[in-house]
Structure formats: C-alpha cells, structure tokens
Structure 1
Amino acid sequence: MPGPLSQRLLSGKLCLQLLPRAAYSARDPAIGQTLGVTLERQQGVHAIESDRRVDFDTWPGVLAYTPAGVEVFSESPVGGEYLLARWSEPLADEPRSLFTHRVQLGGHAQALALGREVRRLLLDPQPDQFALDECALAFAGLPIVDKPQRQAPHAFSRVLEQIAEQFDQPLTLAQLAATSGQTELRLLRDFTRVIGLTPHAYLVEVRVQAARRLIERSSLPLAAIAQDSGFAHQSHMGSAFRKLLGMTPSQYRSRF
C-alpha cells in the first residue's frame, strides 16, 4: 500500500491510516484485524487467502473486514484514497472475531460517512482528539454482516465513468439518468443505495479529489484549479473543501 497521508495510534490499540491515491503493490499478512472503506473508486488485481489473482473494481462506500491471519495481496496502477483501521487487541466483545475469511459490504453509507469524517479529522494539523477517538472507534465498531456483496448494475459503471471523465463539466442528473437508462428518480434512489452517496455528493467528492491533486502537484492559482476541477468558482470550491476536509484550499496548499 502507498504510504499514509496521515496516521494516528489511538489508546495504544487502534491504528488509523489514510492511504492516498497512488500506484501500489503490497502484501498484507494481516497480523491483526483490519477494517477499511474506499473513499474513491479503485481498480486493480488482488489475491485473498491464495495466490490466485483476480481483477477488482471497488466503488466508494465498500466496507471490507479482514480477520487476523488472512493474507491479502493487492495491486493497482492508480489506487484510490482509502481509510484503514488496524488493531490486534480486542476493542470489545466482537462477534466478528468468529470470521475466518474476508467480508465485503457495498453501499455502506454509515461507513462512508464515518470514513469521510475521520479523513477530515486526520487531515487537520490540530485535530480534536476526543472527536477523532469517538469517530474512529465508531468506525472500528461497525457491525459486520457476512452476506453476499450486492452487485451494482453495469449502468452505474457507465455513470461513474461519465463522472470520472466529465467532472469538470456542468453535469446534470438528467444527463446521468440518460447514461444509465433510468429515470432521474430511479437513478437517485438506486445510486444512493448502492454507493452510499447521492449522485451530486459523489460528483462533488470527485471534484474535490481532483482539486486536491492539482493543489498538491502544481502551482496553478486556486481560481484556475477551481475551474479545471468543475467548480463554478473559487468560493464554491472553498465551500466544498471546508465541508469535506475542514479547511480552505489555501490552508490545504500550505499543509500539502
């Protein structure tokens, strides 16, 4: 896995890592338990509990629990932002300790919301430790239900690809619905159920991620970055940064 953007050790037991969007190839022996949630779509190959590599396409909002002793190899040419919690000592009475295999749940709105809040706190140079402890423990304590992962319709792949390719344009719900072949109301309901975010919230997340990368890797003026990332203007980008990351674009540039 790529190196963490930020990492915290809470109460000597729980380690949190915010992994950035970056190419990686790694084997995790999973000495302890891990729980992760995808904050960005991620594609690549992985091998779980074997040497058989299979393609994966993980959407935002996928919660993955790996018990101790389950080895996971994963490789991606691009990666995607990912929140990972790891612990070796029991945090509480955990029924999940009975699991002997990796479990994945898609469209986990609660996990995605907690993951985004933990990200905001981890990126803060002076985070509220009390709030971070509570949020991290709430994330690590999410109940895990071992059931077949919900398969997302192929139409949603086309919608995600459209957003990834056209996030810098003024997309509308009607355009996305036309791509999916659904009515606007049906797309809104189904997309939110499968991803854990509304189409608009997902679009704003993609735009913020694009803006973050431009801020980190270029010296472009913030106004130009806002335009290149699909925001109507710089103040619109600033509002999105404050809501999702807890800081302004200029503060983000100073830190990263």
Structure 2
Amino acid sequence: MLSQPFLDDRLCLQLLPRSAYSARDPAQRSTLGVTLERQQGVHAIDSDHRQDFDTWPGTLALTPAGIEVFSESDTGGEYLLLRWRDEALQSVLPLTSGRVQRQGHGRALALAQQARRLLLEPTPDVLALEHCALQLLALQAVTEPGCSRPRPAQFARVLEQMAEQYGQPLSLAQLAASCGQHELRFLRDFTRAVGMTPHAWLIETRVQAARRAIDSSDLALASIALDAGFAHQSHMGSAFRKVLGLTPSQYRARQRAL
C-alpha cells in the first residue's frame, strides 16, 4: 500500500510500501528518508556507479536538492519519505552540500513510526502531520562527531532470525547467542545500532507480518494473530494500536476501502 503524498507544496510526506521497486529521484527537492524495514538492493548516488546497499531500520538519510539518487530492490521495505522545496524553508534550515546518512537514529525511527500512524488514519490530522514533518526536518544534524555506534552489520543474523522466526517465542538469550554476545551487551548494542530494543523490534516485525497477511488474505484475525507470533487476538490488537494507531479490524476495513 502506497500512501498519497500528504501536506502541501512546501512539504510532501509519503509512506512507501514494502514491495519491489526501481526508481530514480529527479533531485528537484531535498529529501529526508527514514528506513522502517530493512532494505537490500543496489543504488547509485549522483553517478552511474551502482553499489550494493543494505539499509537497516532506523537509518536516516538526508539528500539535498541537485543530488540524483537511483535505487532498486527486489523486495523493498517500508520507508517514510519527506520532500521539501528549499526556497520555502531555506531561512530556517541548515545548509548541506552532500548526501548524509546515519544509522541507529532512534529519534528518527520514532518520528517515522508516528508519521506512519498519522498517515494510516482514515481522516489524517493535518496539524499533527505538519508538526511531525517539521520535527523530522529538525533532525538534519544527522552526524554526531566522536559518537561511536555499533555497526548494524554485526546484527544481520539477529534481524534475519527475527524475520524468519517471528511466529515463534524468542528469548533475549537466544537472540544474543546468535551474535555471540552476553545478553546485557547485546541489549545495549542492538538498541544503539537499530534505534529500538530487540523486543520492540520483534513486535514491529510481527505487526508488519500481520499487516501483510491482512492485506493479502481473508483469514480470521485470530488465525493471523497466532501465525504472527501473538499469544491471542487481543494481544495483536494491543500491538496494532501501539504501532499503527488502529485495531486490526480498523486496518482491514481501511485497506478494503482503498
């Protein structure tokens, strides 16, 4: 599901879906993107040289106007994209000349999830969306000199394990063992690398799996809940309300109305 671009001519906020894509940004506007789900593919930044990429949840990317970006992925991944016209906001925004990317940005991930909840509402709250967009714009200081963060690549097996086994009960000890760390260190490093705790990311993974099942089937919600790893339907309902701001029934009704 692709949300319609929202807000106005100054700001454009859009939720891009988890689906295959091949796109070239014409670089007419500055953009700020936040990865909601892991994405893998190839891209070319302001050149014809294509490189493999593996972008993790919680990655914030700032691309000034004039820098063309080509990106292609066989699977895609949910992504929150904000575009703006520099001339409309240049008096209140810092200047940057190149593309900047930062991983493990917890604040960016939280704001992107908030924007997702707002965009999924049947009647979006324009004021709340604009406020969220401006808060995202304020995150343009994406670098932290002297701040050392764990490399997300070291947790690749953990994310893959969650993606493959979200329907099963997973403990912190099992996840930590996947990357050979003590539980306390794993909890700290994973949270700093991704921007969410392992438990919060597992719940996010289960909610997204349930969303895909709702989108593509007429299965009963109780069955979807169990398949996605929730203890029961009400457990899934609580997770949906927290993550998406909708109950599973409301989400299904919204998707059928599109």
TM exceeding 0.5 = yes
TM-score of Structure 1 vs Structure 2, range by shorter chain: over 0.9
Post-superposition offset of 1:4: 2.8
Q: Which runs of 5+ in 2 are unaligned?
A: none
Partner of 1:227: 226
Partner of 1:242: 241
Q: Provide the secondary structure at the position in 2 that maps to 1:93.
A: coil
Are residues 1:252 and 2:258 paired?
Answer: no
Partner of 2:214: 215
Partner of 1:175: 174
Q: Write the distance in 1 (CA, Å) between the matches of 2:36 and 2:80.
A: 7
Post-superposition offset of 1:228: 1.0
Post-superposition offset of 1:153: 5.0
Q: Write the distance in 1 (CA, Å) between the matches of 2:110 and 2:218.
A: 31
Are residues 1:30 and 2:36 paired?
Answer: no
Q: Write the distance in 1 (CA, Å) between the matches of 2:179 and 2:154.
A: 5
The one of 78, 83, 93 aligned to 1:81: 78
Partner of 1:45: 42
Post-superposition offset of 1:94: 1.8
* TM-score after normalising by structure 1: 0.94
Partner of 1:190: 189
- Residue by residue over 1:62-97, the C-alpha shift from the partner in whole angstroms, topping out at 9 and shown as x without a partner, is 0000000100000000000000000113424222x2
The one of 126, 130, 142 aligned to 1:129: 126
- Residue by residue over 1:214-234, the C-alpha shift from the partner in whole angstroms, topping out at 9 and shown as x without a partner, is 000101110111111111111
Partner of 2:165: 166
Q: Which runs of 5+ in 1 are unaligned?
A: none
- Residue by residue over 1:162-200, the C-alpha shift from the partner in whole angstroms, topping out at 9 and shown as x without a partner, is 111101100110100111100110010000001000000
Q: Write the distance in 2 (CA, Å) between the matches of 1:242 and 1:147.
A: 33
Post-superposition offset of 1:128: 2.4
- How large is the RMSD of aligned CA atoms in angstroms? 1.6
The one of 109, 112, 118 aligned to 1:115: 112
> Which has the larger displacement, 177-186 or 148-157?
148-157
Q: Provide the secondary structure at the position in 2 that maps to 1:141.
A: helix
Q: Provide the secondary structure at the position in 1 that maps to 2:140.
A: coil
Q: Write the distance in 2 (CA, Å) between the matches of 1:139 and 1:153.
A: 22
Post-superposition offset of 1:142: 1.3
Partner of 1:68: 65
- Residue by residue over 1:13-36, the C-alpha shift from the partner in whole angstroms, topping out at 9 and shown as x without a partner, is 100010000000011021010000
Partner of 2:7: 9
Q: Percent identity?
A: 66
CA contact (8 A) 1:65 1:144 kept: no
Task: Give the 4+ runs in structure 1 shifted more than 2 A.
Answer: 3-7, 89-93, 143-151
Alignment of 1:83-102 (within 5 A): 83-88=80-85, 89-91=87-89, 92-95=91-94, 97=95, 99-102=96-99
